[in-house]
Amino acid sequence: METSEFKRMPWLNGLLDAMDAGVVVLDRHGRVQFWNRWMEKASATPEANIHGRELVEAMPSLRDTRLHNAVRDVLETGAPSVLSHTLNPVLFPLRCADGRRMVHNVLIRPFVAANSSYCLIQVTDVTAVVNRERVLREQRDARYRAIVDTAPDAIVTTDTRGVVQWANGAAANQFGFQPNELIGQHVSLFLTEGSPDWSGLLERDPTGKPAPVELIGRKRDGTRIDLEVSLARWESEGRSFITGVLRDITERRRTREELKANALAMRQLAEQTKATLDALPAHIAVLDHGGHITFVNKAWAESGPQPGFLGDGSAIGDDYLEACAATRSGVEHADALIEGLRGLLRGGPPVSIEYPGLSDAGARWFRCLAAPMAAGPFGGAVLMHIDITEIKSMEATLRKLVGQKSTLLREVNHRVKNSLQLVSSLLTLQTMSLPGAADRVHFQDARSRIDAIARVHSRLYQTEQFQTIEFGSYLNELCADLSRASGGETLGSIEVRAERIDLPIDQAAPLGLIANELVTNAIKHRGTSPANVLVALDRAGDLLALTVTDQGPGLPAGFDMRRSRSLGMRLITSLTGQIGATVTLLPVERGTSFRIALTMPEAHGPILEDSAAEWNG
């Protein structure tokens, strides 16, 4: 039927123009052969302007759209199509009478007239219907939308092919898209490759309920996200839809994996701990809060009928305190252990008891150690019995050897002291026979030095400590002897301010000789005035200071200890070098003040005030 044939049937034109729907007829080349009056009004395009032209030429916005493809399918294959506004938002550019965009559906079908093929396009205005349905749907779904729009989980609705029809705000936020960017997209946009078919996820578990499925999703930036997906199918207006809840379980899966890893680590730790305890020779058990045994190591379990320790023979589940009370020997030690364990289980201190036992092999010694064990489901305590028979035997042997060596060393120090006193007595006798005063002074100095060394050995054999002596009391004794030897208070006084400090013997003997030399020199060179001497021993941190101060005439101008030819000064210089000390001449208003400073191996209290300045000033 050509155009002239349409024109020859005015009644048909009038009929089509009177229809409340758009009617368009295209020939086999896609050219417009009829454009009814409804289409003229809705498109604002008169038929005269479009008649004989290709549809996509007259309306370029339709090119390569679903409508264009459907027209081609009809002209080429004769396959009809129904294009709804729901799935095809881009159709004809039509407007309602009030200027609003017209919502419409399009039916495209072929027909043949006068041996010619044509394409019939029928356009139906559904704007009012859609608006009415929208209002009804909005009213009906207001509560539903209020729930799903505020839901923390992503919720999407798709058709059966997996194309998104609707998505809530949580879905957009979860995957990093705007809500309108998800509409019309396939769910593969936010699911990783290899994910199962969307509709296939609707398979139900044996109970008939939808089975949640864990999938891996991806955000817009490619970030992986773990999902738990629950789907439900529903029908509306003859169409099927699928609504899915996609819960972000990234943290839950990570926590679950961490818990599994922690559980594995705990099992490995428990196995390793058990293997370690089983490898120990000590008899080890774990008690709960009530004193019942919850674990024993291999040594305990295989200890035999009578190993000898308290509570032997008890096993897992037994009351260990009752087992101790039923012991056959060492009742007093059993009572002490029971009392200690009861206090420990109530939050008391750890228990440590040594006790004798009787085993199949004879008399044995054991040490029981028990400590609280707050960790774990049972709490309570862990205790072990260690066989210390060999240690006890070695201790007895060592005590015997130490006693023998102590007696021998004390005897050596006693004999050295006696020998030095004999030498001192011989020097005293020799001094009395010397005619010259200068010679007698030299002999008296030598005797004083020997007495200082003898006094060290005297203290060593009088004490249980052979490596150190208490140097403060040694200084008091030394200065008292020097004061008596110099004539007592008639020739001056010696004041001692000394802390109680233990010094190793290799430091005490040289430092005692140095103190002897300095005090002796102060008395010897006092001049015409009485000799007033202050001896101070201070310690601060790891620094020890011996200060000897007098109020005599002082040293000559330009005095240098290193160049002094005096035997005493040379001896002081030599001894300070031997113990790694330094000698300092302190500035005082009157007399002389020497400070001997050396480093100690251990820290002590705060240093005292400068004794020389305080006393001299």
Q: Is 466 exposed, middle or buried (0-12, 13-18, 19+ CB in 10 A)?
A: middle
Would you tell me which CATH number, out of the four given (3.30.420.40, 3.30.450.20, 3.40.50.920, 3.40.50.10140), belongs to the domain 280-386? 3.30.450.20
Q: Enumerate residues 6+ apart whose C-beta is below 8 A from 314.
A: 285, 293, 320, 323
Tens-place pLDDT, residues 477-492:
878 877 777 666 656 7
In the structure, what pLDDT confidence band is assigned to residue 431 with cuts at 50, 70 and 90? low
The pTM assigned to this predicted structure is 0.41
CATH topology identical between 3-129 and 280-386 = yes
Q: Is residue 538 a contact partner of residue 586, using CB atoms and an 8 Å limit?
A: no
The whole-number pLDDT of residue 106 equals 94
> Which has the closest alpha carbon to 202: 174, 229, 238?
229
151-248: CATH, from 3.30.450.20, 3.20.20.80, 2.40.50.140, 3.90.1150.10: 3.30.450.20
Contact 311, 335 (CB under 8 A): no
Question: CATH assignment of 3-129?
Answer: 3.30.450.20
Residue 239: which pLDDT band, with cuts at 50, 70 and 90? confident
Of the ranges 235-244, 288-297, 371-380, 525-534, the best mean pLDDT one: 288-297
The residue that leads in pLDDT, 97 or 419, is: 97
Average pLDDT over residues 566-587: 85
- Segment of 391-400, 509-518, 581-590, 605-614 carrying the highest mean pLDDT: 581-590
pLDDT tens profile 23-81 = 999 998 999 999 999 999 999 999 989 999 999 898 998 898 899 999 999 999 999 99
Q: State the helix-helix crossing angle for 505-524 and 471-485, rounded to 10 degrees.
A: 30
Confidence (pLDDT) at 603: 42
Between residues 607 and 496, the one the model is more confident about: 496
Domain ranges of the chain: 3-129, 151-248, 280-386, 388-454, 467-616
Full DSSP string of 281-325: SSEEEEE-TTSBEEEE-HHHHTS-S---STTTT--TTSBHHHHHH
Lowest mean pLDDT among 272-276, 336-340, 553-557: 553-557
Residues contacting 187, CB < 8 A, separation 6+: 156, 158, 162, 163, 164, 198, 244
Q: Quick one: fold of 467-616? A: Heat Shock Protein 90 (3.30.565)
